[in-house]
Amino acid sequence: MVKFLKILPIATKTGTVTIKYPYQEPLVTESFRGAIEVDPAKCVGCGACTRICPPKALTLTLEGNTMILKYFVGRCIFCGMCADTCPEKAISVTKEFELATGNVFDLYTDIEHEVKTCSICGKSFISKKLGDKVASKVSDIPSETMDLCPDCRRKEALKRFIGALE
Amino acid sequence: MTSLHTSSNSAIKETMLKKALSRIKRSIWVFHLNTGSCNGCDIEVLDVLTPYFDVERFGIKLVASPRHADLALLTGPVTIKTLSKVYKALSAMPRPRFVLAIGSCAVGGNIWFESYSTIGGFPKALEIFSEMGLEIDGVMYVPGCPARPEAIIYGAATLLGLQKPKSKYRRLKA
């Protein structure tokens, strides 16, 4: 009948296990991955992260004359693959997980990029920063080809090729 | 005469709702609603209800029927098959009714956001429900894949007004 009393010494030995969160620091280990942080100073807008992102939480869209890298935390699965693949090391994985909000639009982060337009057709194709980056890394590209969109560049190359044949 | 009667009725309803909202804060009963989740978030929800995290500190208690619940712990991307059942469960809840959308499936649809078999998260379901005339008094979105037990507690605490939400929309120039 008093069999259950044997729990009492065990309970007194263990004490209280309940944690006091949110009035206490959360248990976050070293390997924990939370929301990502994009450094706008380092980001060039190449879009490598948008291609690797499994749920497409990172997207690159063109809105008029600005290119926008949109990060939606609500869709992020916190895999950290974007941080691994970023060529500029602009993305870092933080330990932030207290992201709850009553409005979905608070979960978006936008990064604006200035866009480069084609000197012939006027179409915008890459961000200005990415163009500068490529120009600084590869020295033997003539500047007039750098200002062309891929379609116009192809046409110009063909024109030059035909001109050389004649 | 009838119009006057209905308007006073709605005013009474509103004051009753306000009273209920102020009273609900210390004793919120939750109903666990799985809408096609992978069970990752459901395990975290169970974790929250264990003595280790012990949400009964805030008066949160799990109930078996939506008719007894104030808050639905909604997990999963709301598949087409479950949409009608979600509607039924939420409309069975008495006013004021709240929803805690847990996990990146419920918030944004996760990797299934453009799939043919899901509607892509609770925000899209909310649009359908508001069209159908189902009123929901408060929604809190808890991102995470799966959402940590602490994140769920934080979401519940923000819903109860114990904490202020940190996330804000940001637009930065590169």
* pLDDT, mean of residues B94-103: 91
Mean pLDDT over each residue of chain B, to the nearest integer: 89
Report the candidate in A20, A121, A19 with the shortest Cα–Cα distance to residue B162.
A20
Residues 6+ apart with CB under 8 A from A57: A71, A72, A73, A74, A75, A76, A77, B108
Selected residue with higher pLDDT from B35 and B16: B35
Place of tokens 């807008």: A45
Q: Kind and range of the H or E element at B150?
A: helix B149-160
Which residues from A are below 8 Å from B172, CB to CB? 38, 40, 109-112
Give domain limits for chain A.
31-165
pLDDT value of residue A122: 85
Q: What is the mean pLDDT of chain A?
A: 89
B-proximal residues of A, 3-42, CB under 8 Å: 17-19, 21-22, 26-27, 35, 38, 40-41
d(CA B140, CA B88): 20
pLDDT at residue A23, as a whole number: 86
**How large is the average pLDDT for residues B116-137?**
91
List, for residues A126-161, the tens digit of each pLDDT value. Answer: 899 998 888 888 888 777 788 888 899 899 889 988
**Model pLDDT, residue A59:** 93
pLDDT at B26: 82
Chain A contacts of B57, Cβ < 8 Å? 18
Q: What is the pLDDT of residue A33?
A: 92
pLDDT band for position B1 (50/70/90)? Answer: very low
Cβ–Cβ < 8 Å for B74, B102: yes
- Joined together, the tokens standing for residue A31 give 């390997």
Q: Region A86-109: what's the mean pLDDT?
A: 91
Identify whether B51 is preceded by a cis peptide bond (ω within 30 of 0). no
Q: Confidence class of residue B7 from pLDDT cuts 50, 70 and 90?
A: low
As a whole number of angstroms, the distance between CA B110 and CA A56 comes to 8
Element (H, E) at B42: helix B40-48
**% of chain A surpassing 70 pLDDT:** 100
Model ipTM?
0.85
Classify domain A31-165 at the CATH class level. alpha beta
pLDDT, tens digit (0-9, with 9 covering 90-100), for B19-49:
888 788 888 999 999 999 999 999 999 999 9
Q: What is the DSSP letter of A5?
A: G
- pLDDT band (50, 70, 90) for residue B4: low
What residues contact B91, with CB distance under 8 A and at least 6 apart? B134
Domains in chain B and their CATH numbers? Answer: 25-159 (3.40.50.12280)
Mutate to test the interface with B, among A53, A101, A105, A114 (most CBs of B within 10 A): A101
Q: Give the whole-angstrom CA distance, residue A126 versus residue A39.
A: 19
Give me the pLDDT at residue A60, please: 92
Mean pLDDT of B130-152: 91
B143, closest residue in chain A (CA to CA)? A74
CB count within 10 Å of CB B167 equals 23
Full-model pTM: 0.87
Residue B60 confidence (pLDDT) above 70 = yes
* Contact (Cβ atoms closer than 8 angstroms) between residue B126 and residue B74: no
